Structure 1
Amino acid sequence: MKLVKSLSFTEDIKQYFLKNASMDEIRNAASRLCRDYLTGRWKSISAEDIVVKRISGGLSNFLYYISLPAEEVSDKNSNSLCNIQTTAISTSKRQRKDSAACGDEPTEVLLRIYGQTHGEHALETMITESVVFALLSERNLGPKLHGLFPGGRIEQYIPARPLRTLELSDCKTSMKIAEKMGKIHSLHIPVSKEPEWLWNTMQRWLKSLDSIINNISPENEEKPEVHEIKKIDFEKEVEWIRSVVDSGDYPVVFCHNDMQEGNILLREEPSRSRRESVKSLSSLPETENEASSSLSGDHNANASSGLIGIQSRKRSIPSDDSYTDLDNSSDSVISNDSEESEPDLMIIDFEYCAYNYRGFDLANHFIEWTIDYSNPVFPFFSHTKEQYPTKEQRQDFISAYLRKDNEDIENYIPNAEEIESLEKEIRTFSMISHLFWGLWSVVNVYQNIEFGYWEYAVSRLREYQALKNSFLSAP
C-alpha cells in the first residue's frame, strides 16, 4: 500500500522507534520510509533484506544506519557501476557525489527520527535546524539530505571520525577549519538576522537557574564547586557582558556557534571498502533494548562498541548528532607527512546555528583547543590552558578566515590592522564563550550522563572572571 507522506503517517510510525520496539518493527518502519523517499533498489527490496543498525538514541532523536545488502553493493563494485565510497566535499576541481551511491541511489544512509519536542522553542528550533541542514547540504557544507518528512529525515552516511583536540592545532587542519568557518559566515540563511540567539538562550537558562540551585542533591551540596557557583550572580554577569557588546560595533554573521573538534569530521580514505564498513557495524546492538542498555551503561559506550561517538559536552544535549566513525584506527591528521594532502573535513551539528556575532564563533573555537572531552576518568574532560593557540597560530587562522570570507575581492590579503581588530573581538567574545558554556553546564547538572558538570562550570567561569578582570583593568 502506498504510504501518504503526512503528519498522521509520521505519528503512526514513530511508535516503532520507541525503546520497547522490536527489531522487526524498526526494520519495517525504516524500510517503508526508505521506499518512499529513496529511489532505485530501495523501491523493491524487502524489509528483511536491508541492514539496520541503531547508532544512537535519546530524548529528542533516534539515529539509525540503513543500507542495502553488502552483497549487492559488492556486485556493483565488481561491475564498476559506481564508487560506493564517500567522495571529497565538492571543490572547484572535484564534484561531490552522493555517499555510497550509484547514480542517484545511495546504498547506505542515516535515518533520523525526531523524538520529544517539548519546550517553549522546541518546534521552532527543529524547523530552523531542518532548514539550515537542507541549505548547507545543497551548498556542499554538510551531509547530503536524501529526504525530509514531518517526523525526521534521511541523511547521507559519512564514513568519518571526529577530530581529536590536539588535531585542531595542526597547521593544515587549522587552515581548513578557518576556510570552512569563513564560508559558513558568508552564507545568507532565511532566518532572523538579529543576534538574539545568544541572549535569548542565556535568558532561557537563567529562568531555570533558581530551581537548579535550590534543589541540589545532598551528595553535591558540599562540593566546593557548588559553593563557588552559588556566589555568582549570573543575571548581573549576563547584563554586564551584554552592555560591553552593545557598546561596540561587532559584525553579525551566520554562525555555527559550537565549532569544536567533536563537530568536525575527518573523512576516511576512499580506499576503504563498503564491506569493511558493514563488518565494523556488526558489533552494534541489534535491538533497541540492547542499544539502550549499552549506551546508558558507559559514557564512552559508543567507543567500546566499535564506534567513536562525538566525545564532547554535546553528548549531554539530547540531540544525538552522531555522524560516527566506523573505524577507530584512523591515523591522526598530525601524523600525515604528505605535503600535498589536505584533511578532508566536514562540519556537522547545526543545532546551535544562528545569526550571531562572528567574534563568538572564533573565540569559542580557539578555546576548544584547550579542552579535551575524551578524558576517560572523572570529570571526563581536561582543560589545558597552555594549548591555547599562539599569536602566530591565531593570526594564521584569522588570515585564512578573512581570505575565505572575502574571496569575492580579487587578490584580497588581510592587513595587520584587520587582523588586530579581529584579535580584539576574539578577546571580548572569549569572555562570553566562557560565561555561556559555564551557565550551560550549571543548567545541565541533572542530566543522566556521566560528566563533571559542576567541575566544567567552575573551570569555564574562572576563566571568564580572569578575562573580565583583565578587561576592566585595561587602560
Structure 2
Amino acid sequence: METEIHVPLGSPVIRRFPIFVDEHQVTDGAIRLIKELRPAWDPDRLQTKLFTDGTTNKLVGCYVEDSPDDVVLVRVYGNKTELFVDRDNELKSFQVLHANGCAPRLYCSFQNGICYEFMPGDALGTQDVRDPALLRMISREMARIHAIHAHNGCIPKPNLWIKMRKYFSLVATEFTDQASNLRIQREVPSKALLEQEMLWMKEHLSALGSPVVLCHNDLLCKNIIHNNKEGHVRFIDYEYSSYNYQAFDIGNHFNEFAGMSELDYGLYPSREMQLEWLQVYLKAYKLYTKNTEQLGPRELETLYVQVNKFALASHFFWGFWALIQAKYSSIDFDFLGYAVLRFNQYFKTKPTVMALKIPE
C-alpha cells in the first residue's frame, strides 16, 4: 500500500500483553502492566501520576522512588477511538520515528493501549510556539521528520482524503432527519454543504503540488516537548502520523497556534512569522534531503500559499474528528462546540486564502 508506513528491517519486536485496562480505573490497570513490564520494581515503592491534558486518551506515568528518571507512560485508548485512529499504523510510526531519533522507546502494547518511555521536558503552550528560538527548533524538527523515508520504494500517497472521507461517513448518520442531536442540525453546516466543500478541497488542494512526506498530522502545542537542558524539541503522540502533504502538516500546526480549550484565531501566525518559520524549515529540509539548491523567494512564497490553503483542510479534518468524539468520547470536553468553531473558521478564512496565488 502506498499510504502505509514501513518499519525498518531488524527493528525490535514490540511486546504485547493480553491485558485490558478499564479507562475509568487507569491507575489500577497501569500497576498490573508495570508488574509485567518491570518485574524488578518493588510494588510498595511504585508511584503513579495521572496526566489530564489528553483529549483522546487517558495517560498515567509510573516510576519507583529511587529511580524517578525512569518513568513508564501507560496510555489507555479512549472509547471507540479505533474508529478513527489506525492503531497498527501508530505503532509503526512510533518505531520508525524512534529509529530516527525523533521519538521515545515503545516498551509494549496491550489490548487497549501502549506503554512507552517518558521524554523529559515541558509541553508547550500557545505563547511558547511563537517564541523565536522555539519556533526555529520546531520548524527544524518537522523538517527532520519530513525527510525520513519510511516507504517500501513505491511513491507514497497522501491519506488525507481517504481519512477525511472515512470520518465524514462516520458522522453522516448524525445529519439525518431522525438524528437525535438537535444541536448538530442547528449549528453544524448541512451534510450536503460539507460534502460539496470536501470534494472541492480535494480537487483544488491536490493540484497545488505539495510533496507527500512522512507527517505528524497532529502538532498541537501540547504535543511538542521542549527539553531546555539539552536544547531541543521533540514531538509526541503519533496516532495520526502518516504519509501526507507537507503543507498540511505545517498548516495544521499553524492552526494550532490558536489553542484548543479556548480557541483564539487571533493567535494564527502573521505572514511575517510564517515566512520566518518556513525559511528555517526549507533550509533544514534541504539539508536533511541533501538538496544543494539555493533557497529562493519563489520557493518560499509557494510554500506559504500551499500551507495556508491546506490549513483549510485541517479545519475540516478536525471538525469531523470532533463530531465523532462528541458521540463516543467519555472525556469532559465540548467536542461539538469545538467542531462548530473549526467549520466556522474554515468558511470565514476561505475567501482570503483562495485569493492567494502560487507565483509563476
What band does the TM-score fall into relative to the shorter chain? Answer: 0.7 to 0.9
Q: 1:195 to 1:171 in 2, by over 3 A?
A: same
Is contact 2:208–2:306 with CA below 8 Å preserved after alignment? no
How do 1:7-86 and structure 2 match up within 5 A? 10-11=17-18, 14-15=19-20, 17-18=21-22, 27-35=31-39, 42=40, 45-55=41-51, 63-70=59-66, 73=67
435 and 351 in structure 1: CA distance in 2 versus 1, 3 angstrom threshold: same
Opposite residue 236 of structure 1, the aligned amino acid is Q
After superposing the two structures, state which structure 1 stretch, 51-60 or 165-174, moved more.
Answer: 51-60
The alignment status of 1:444 with 2:332, answered yes or no, reads no
Q: Structure 1's 109 and 197: CA in aligned 2 closer, same or farther, altered over 3 A?
A: same
Please tell me the root mean square deviation across aligned C-alpha atoms, in Å: 3.5
Assess, with a 3 A threshold, how the Cα gap between structure 1 residues 222 and 175 changes in structure 2: closer, same or farther: same
Distance 1:222 1:190 in 2: 42
In structure 2, do the counterparts of structure 1 residues 31 and 150 end up closer, same or farther at CA, with 3 Å as the change threshold? closer
Distance 1:416 1:458 in 2: 37
Indicate yes or no: 2:98 matched with 1:137.
yes
From 223, 234, 244, give the equivalent of 2:194.
234
Work out which of the residue numbers 142, 155, 169 in structure 2 matches 1:181.
142
Q: Counterpart of 2:226 in 1: which secondary structure?
A: strand
Superposed counterparts of 1:140-179, under 5 Å: 140-145=101-106, 147-149=107-109, 151=111, 153-179=114-140
**Within the alignment, does 1:464 sit opposite 2:346 as a pair?**
yes
Moved more, 176-185 or 207-216: 207-216
> For the Cα contact (< 8 Å) 2:108–2:115, is it kept in 1?
yes
Residues 67-466 of structure 1: pairs in structure 2 closer than 5 A: 67-70=63-66, 73=67, 100=69, 107-112=70-75, 119=82, 125-145=86-106, 147-149=107-109, 151=111, 153-190=114-151, 194-214=156-176, 215-217=179-181, 220=183, 225-226=187-188, 229-230=189-190, 233-267=193-227, 269=229, 342=231, 344-369=232-257, 371-373=258-260, 380-385=261-266, 387-408=267-288, 409=290, 413-446=294-327, 447-466=329-348
Indicate conservation of the 8 Å contact 2:45/2:65, yes or no: yes
Q: Tell me, in whole angstroms, the C-alpha distance in 1 between the residues paired with 2:25 and 2:283.
A: 51
Kept after mapping to 1: 8 A contact 2:78/2:330: no
Structure 1, 107-116 or 255-264: larger mean CA deviation: 107-116
Structure 1 runs of 4+ aligned residues shifted over 6 Å read 20-25, 56-60, 115-118
Alpha carbons of structure 1 residues 259 and 135: separation in structure 2 relative to 1, 3 Å? same
Give the paired residue count. 339
Identity of aligned residues (%): 24
The runs of 5 or more residues in structure 2 that have no matched partner are: 1-12
Q: Distance in 2 between matches of 1:464 and 1:58?
A: 24
Quickly say closer, same or farther: Cα 1:169–1:471, change in 2 above 3 A: closer
Structure 1 position 406, deviation (Å): 1.0
Rounded Cα–Cα distance in structure 2 between residues aligned with 1:436 and 1:115: 19
8 A Cα contact 1:55 1:65, kept in partner? yes
Deviation at 1:128, TM superposition (A): 1.5
Q: Which has the larger radius of gyration?
A: 1
Offset at residue 246 of structure 1 (A): 3.3
CA apart distance, 1:6: 11
Which residue identity is paired with 2:181? S
> Matched residues in 1 for 2:26 and 2:338: separation?
38
Please tell me the residue identity of whatever aligns with 2:127. Answer: L
Distance (whole Å) between structure 2 residues aligned to residue 465 and residue 153 of structure 1:
38
Q: Given residue 298 of structure 2, which amino acid in structure 1 is its aligned partner?
A: E
| Maintained 8 Å contact 1:59/1:116 | no
The answer to whether the 8 Å contact 2:247/2:306 transfers is yes
8 Å contact 1:162–1:266 — kept in the other structure? yes
Q: 1:441 to 1:51 in 2, by over 3 A?
A: closer
Q: Which residue of structure 1 aligns with residue 8 of structure 2?
A: none
- Contact 2:213 2:244 (8 Å CA) reproduced: yes
1:108–1:157 CA contact under 8 A, matched in 2:
yes
